[in-house]
Amino acid sequence: MKKISLLCTAALLLLASCTPKATTPQISKENISLQLYSLRDDFSRSSFDTIISKVAQIGYASVEAASYGDRKFYGKTPQEFKAAVEKTGLTVLSSHTARGLSDEELSTKDFSQALAWWDQAVEDHLAAGMKYIVAPWMNVPNTLADLQTYCEYYNAIGKKCREKGLAFGYHNHAHEFTEVEGVTMYDYMIEHTNPELVFFQMDVYWTVIGRKSPVDYFNKYPGRFTLLHIKDHKELGQSGMVGFDAIFRNISAAGTAHIVVEVEQYNYSPVESVKISYDYLVDILNLGGKCKH
């Protein structure tokens, strides 16, 4: 009887392991991108073309750049960057690019010079094949008046991008969940930017570090999170502290079109870490098509 019981238990465990995971209809392998900042250490040791080929081999569909400067991406002209990426079968999705406001621009609310810089940046991102430009950082303003100026600035950038067929968004860290004059900075930004001009690329890990729930934000501000940064302390699923299951069960409320994997710290080599993260994501989203034993 004991042997039969053990066999039954084993059979039940096997059945449980083959039970389909909850699917996320709007997310497929074609929606999974990699933030190339994840491979910054490898780029310093090997050629861009070599590393980007490995990204394609892993299974990622597209890439998000993090190296725009002097009108180049990773030392390549926009056209060269696009060609190098597309040669591997990948596409160019987005870029982290920013131009902050000076104290004078904040005080005068005259950001015409900054917008002139954006004219050039938008043209370069179009030539590189981008669909989205994302501002990856801003400091916590001293006053709500300064925060409001930034919201107006982002609306102006978003309008400029939209006129050229691009979309503009903002990527958070943890500090956006602090308060400015008693108001949560992130909430203020969402509420005071035009949803037709500015989307938000929520970084789910930094949101959790900021002691907030990504799902609560999906429900509070539905449709505002066109892109998501899917990240953990190291490789995806490594820390156990980010509720990826709940995030993906509720992703329809977020309005997400693409998810972007980022690995900032590693237990393994950068390429191995982004592969582990990709495999974890494909498994949790039930995109692999096979039962793992």
Give pLDDT tens digits for 263-272: 999 999 999 9
Residue 18 is assigned to a structural domain of this protein:
no
CATH of the domain at 57: 3.20.20.150
Q: From the CB of residue 69, how many other CB atoms can be counted at a distance below 10 Å?
A: 9
> How confident is the model over 138-152, as a mean pLDDT?
97
Domain assignment present for residue 12? The answer is no
Asked if residue 37 belongs to a domain, the reply is yes
- Domains in the chain, number: 1
Give domain status of residue 9, yes or no. Answer: no
* pLDDT tens digits, 71-110: 999 999 999 999 999 999 999 999 999 999 999 999 999 9
Q: What is the per-residue pLDDT across 24-76, written as a single tens digit (0 to 9) for each?
A: 447 899 999 999 999 999 999 999 999 999 999 999 999 999 999 999 999 99
**Nearest CA to 157 among 94, 114, 195, 128?**
114
CB 65 within 8 A of CB 94: yes
pLDDT in tens, 235-251: 999 999 999 999 999 99
59 located within any domain: yes
- For the entire predicted model, the pTM comes to 0.89
The answer to the question of residue 243 being in a domain is yes
Q: How far apart are CA 93 and CA 211, in angstroms?
A: 29
pLDDT at position 20 is 36
Per-residue pLDDT, 160: 98
Identify whether 8 is part of a domain. Answer: no
Q: Is residue 77 part of a domain?
A: yes
Q: Pick the closest to residue 229 from 199, 185, 267 (CA basis).
A: 199
d(CA 86, CA 82) in angstroms, rounded, equals 6
Domain assignment of residue 249, given as a range: 23-284
For residue 179, list its beta bridge partners: 184
What is the rounded distance in angstroms from the CA atom of residue 54 to the CA atom of residue 259?
A: 19
- pLDDT greater than 80 at residue 4: no
Q: Does the pLDDT of residue 16 top 70, yes or no? A: no
Query: In the structure encoding, which two tokens stand for residue 147, read together?
Result: 């925060």
CB 84 within 8 A of CB 49: yes
Task: Tell me, rounded to whole angstroms, the distance of Cα 21 from its chain centroid.
Answer: 23
